[in-house]
Structure 1
Amino acid sequence: MEFGEAMGIASAVVVSFGGGAAIIAACSSWLGKIWADRLMEKEKARYNKDLEVLKNDLVQQTEDFKNNLIQQTESVKMKYQKSEILFRLELEAASAFIALSIKVNPRNDFPGKDWGEVCSETIQDFPRIEDMLLNYMSTWGAILSGEAKNEFDEALSLIFNHKFGDDTSSRTADEAVREFFERLDKVESIMKDQIRTQVTV
C-alpha cells in the first residue's frame, strides 16, 4: 500500500469520524434543546402554580383584611351611635333634673326669701317633692350614674325621714332641708361633670 492510499484511507476515516461527530453534535444540540425546553416548561409550570397559590393567598388575606376592617368600622359606628344616644339621654336627664331642682326650691319663686321660710315650706312640701323625685327617678333612673343615684337616694331618705316630722336622727328641720338641697346640688354637679367629660373626649 502506498503512502497516498494510506493517507486517503486515513483522511476518509477522519472525515467519517468528523461527520459522525458533527451528526452527534447536532443530535446532542437538538436533544439538549428539547430537554432544556421541557425543563423550562416544567419549571415555568411549577413557578406559575406557586405564583397562583401566592396570588390566591394574597387575595384571601386582602379579603380577610377588608372584611375585618368593615367589621371594625361597623363596630366603631355602633359604639359611636350608642354613645351619642346615651349622651343625648344624659343631657335630657340633666336638663330634667335641673328643672326639677328649680321647682322644688322655694327660693327660686322668691329669691330674697328668708331661710326659715324656705325650711318651713320645704318640709311642708316634702310629700309633693317626694312624688316629683320618684317620678323623675322612674323616668331617668337608668341614666343616672351610681354616684348620682346614691346622692339622689340620700335626698329621698331625708324626705322620708322628715315629711311626717318623725325623724329619729338628731338632725333639725333646718339641717335636713340644708342637706337635702346640698344633695340635689351634688346630683346636678355630678350630672354636669359627666356631660362635660363626654363633650371633651
Structure 2
Amino acid sequence: MEWNAVFQLVTASLASIGVGGALVFAMASWLGKVWASRILERERTALGSELEKTKRELDVVKETTLRFQNDKILTYRAVVDVVSKVLASFDSIEQGRLCADEAASRFDEFNEQRIRVYGYLAMLAPQQVMDAQDRLMDHLLCVSQGDEPYEWSNVRNLAIDLLNEIRRDIGIDKSPIQYNGQL
C-alpha cells in the first residue's frame, strides 16, 4: 500500500468521523437546549406558584394587621368618648348645673361604660395603656365617691398621660403631647 492510498484512507475515515461527530454534537446541542428550556419552564412555573402563594399569605397578614389596628383605633375612640362624657358630667356637677339625681344617673352610666371599655382595652391594649387608663379611672372613681377633690389640672394630666400611651401604641407619633393652655 502506498502512502498516498493510506493518506486518502485516513483522511476519508477522519472526514466521515468528523461529519458524524459534527452531527452528534449538533444533535446533542439541540437536545440539551430543548431539555434546558423545558426545565427552565418547569422552574418558572414552580416559582410563579410559590410567588403567588407567598403573595396570598402576605395579603392575609396585611389584612389581619390592618383590621387589628382599626379595632385598636375604634376601641381607643370609645375610651375617649367615655372619658370626655364623664369629665363633662364632673364639670357640670362642679359648677352646680347638674342636680344630684341626674349626676347619680350619669355616674351609673359612666360606671357601666368604664367596665365595658376596660374589657375592650384588655383585648387589645398593651400594659402601659392599661396602667394609664387605670390611674385615670381610679382617680375619677375616688372623685365621684368624694374621697378626692375634683381638680381639673389633675384630671387633665391623667387624661393626657392616657392619650400619650395610646399615641405610642398606635404609632401615630411617639412624642408626647402636653397641655400648653392657661387653665
User: Is 1:86 aligned to 2:86, yes or no?
Assistant: no
Residue 139 (structure 1) aligns with: 120
TM-score by length of 1: 0.59
Q: Give the greater-gyration-radius structure (CA).
A: 1
CA contact (8 A) 2:129 2:162 kept: yes
Tell me by how many angstroms 1:197 deviates.
2.1
Identity %: 6
The count of aligned residue pairs is 170
Q: Distance in 2 between matches of 1:68 and 1:149?
A: 42
* Shift in alpha-carbon separation, 1:152–1:28, aligned structure 2, 3 A: same
Letter in 1 for 2:165: I
Tell me by how many angstroms 1:106 deviates.
3.2
* Structure with greater contact order relative to length (CA < 8 Å, sep ≥ 6): 1
User: Is 1:28 aligned to 2:14, yes or no?
Assistant: no
Which SS does the other structure have where 1:173 is aligned? coil
Tell me by how many angstroms 1:100 deviates.
0.8
Letter in 2 for 1:74: R
RMSD between superposed Cα atoms in Å: 4.1
TM-score by length of 2: 0.64
Residue 154 (structure 1) aligns with: 135
Letter in 1 for 2:124: I
Tell me by how many angstroms 1:181 deviates.
5.2
Q: Distance in 2 between matches of 1:195 and 1:156?
A: 21
* Structure 1 unmatched runs, 5+: 1-16, 166-171
Q: Distance in 2 between matches of 1:178 and 1:126?
A: 21
* Structure 2 unmatched runs, 5+: 174-183
Q: Distance in 1 between matches of 2:149 and 2:94?
A: 15
CA contact (8 A) 2:122 2:130 kept: yes
Q: Distance in 2 between matches of 1:159 and 1:105?
A: 9
Instruction: Say which is worse superposed, 95-104 or 66-75, in terms of deviation.
Output: 66-75
